[in-house]
Structure 1
């Protein structure tokens, strides 16, 4: 007998106990666990081995029309644990108080993965046949490089996918926009001088800071985006001082830039390089060198798109309040959506304000609610004969 609450607790608990922390990942251990769950129901399980005990998996539920497909995707990796002493309960013990299950990755993203698993299990046990193929995807390395999503796109197994549900902790709200991420390494070479005579030097640390402020001002001029607000530039690393009484002539910094949909990263980089040239001309012999280390595009969906309207109907059917949100961090959607060219929504259990922290948790109620949403989504996927309304 399929008991959703018991299954949720057991599957989520085991996923939390399986350590898939970055940078090692070790997602293959979780893939083995998930494959064993579904092997009694289907042979359509594809494991993509990335090496070094890292892997992603695609579980396919065959549809009546095998020429079409949709995908529901969640990731298996988690961030690391900085200090276990900061946790009330051991971060991999999967302690459950009956309502909340605690542990590293409980919200991001083992709770969401559990919701996907519960959905697939229930439908497989029923022998349900969707209108088109449904690919349940479990990816490695979402938190950093996106090797899992890239490998799935390169595999060709998602070529027929027409729409995408990306599972992330949104506290039950539906994400219709996501900020892009542009990471820059900035190196500055100025002119050294004694700190008592700063006017004789070109302070590389101050120049990097001024450069960041210029980028922030440029982004503010580009306005605010609904659900996301303004684009931002944050200095996340800065080193340059060589002595307490010397104007530093070298500085190394990292800039984390978050962009709204409609901002081309290529165009933005052109503007940033032009600003650097202007600053160097103003403060010779200053040299600014800029190297991108991360480039994830921003994404946005029209609130009246057919996929979104279907989710509105799903929420109404289930008696759930409809609320949309924007995703300020990047997700696998920033890999999948540009590569596949498909509409998307982002939704899942857990509150984004509390993941990546000590005592991370997700409620079993939220996991089960997301599973009901995903189940209704699969049941109501239109076929070629149905069209979109």
Structure 2
């Protein structure tokens, strides 16, 4: 930049940050609310959980970015929400799910404070972690196909809108699908009176702890959050020249996740996709000023969180298959990446596929869900192969 050129305005990173919040919220809020509902939350509890996620990740993004002068962008665990939807109702209801949320949060804190544990988690073979994630996502990614057969009049316009947006503006494909779904629901479904004026505040939920929920939901939630959000989030930061210390980030996000778990919210973590909007050169030519984008994104999530009650009421009024269609479309790219990573190494391909099919089967033994048993099955086959070698 020459002296004659004007300095770029701080409006540029502010716009980038607000855009990251809007895209992140619009692309995945339906997945979050659907996951909470499946594990037993009422619409009010689901809305309260979504609000607490927005408040927590916004506050942490503002504080960390201001303190470190880096674009530290946070998000909720979208794969974790898909895990909730795949796990289904727990014995003990939503209170048991909040107990599992606390278990996952505690493990994230331990990973941040105790480096050997963090390294041990990172040492879980990528093929198995990716295969477990693919198995979690598989069922919900079938929803667009099933909805096309069950209610083509509602589902096909949503899929068409998503496909056209994916062709011409991929970043906005899922928000466009959400908008299309909203239009179809407004046309076909009567909505609750006064929905536009409703604001739902968080509801305190006293957690219940059980071994089945802790192992079947808490541990897999921790693993998918670390493997599918925190690790890729760090990679995005590194790719743009930022080297934050992961220990404090994991510790703080784990503590925040523990606090909001009492209000029915699951994990907050580093963002991956939306992080690139804040950390990239489109945010600001000067890397030292891109932290402003993450601060603006944090404020954006606070504002969007106030609409959580409206979103939950809308989701409750809409046909479930339509919401699942949007969620499935939003997760297709993640499913493709997980399957590619799972099958990339020939030696680990069969254990990874065993993990995938076991997780996708929905198997439950002793109250422990399929995601855990998928890792056990694939890990056992991998160990057997190593022992033979």
Which range, TM-score by smaller chain?
under 0.3
Larger helix share, 1 or 2: 2
TM-score, normalized by length of structure 1? 0.22
Task: Determine which structure has greater relative contact order: mean sequence separation of CA pairs < 8 Å that are 6+ residues apart, divided by chain length.
Answer: 2
Larger strand share, 1 or 2: 1
TM-score, normalized by length of structure 2? 0.22
Larger Rg: 1
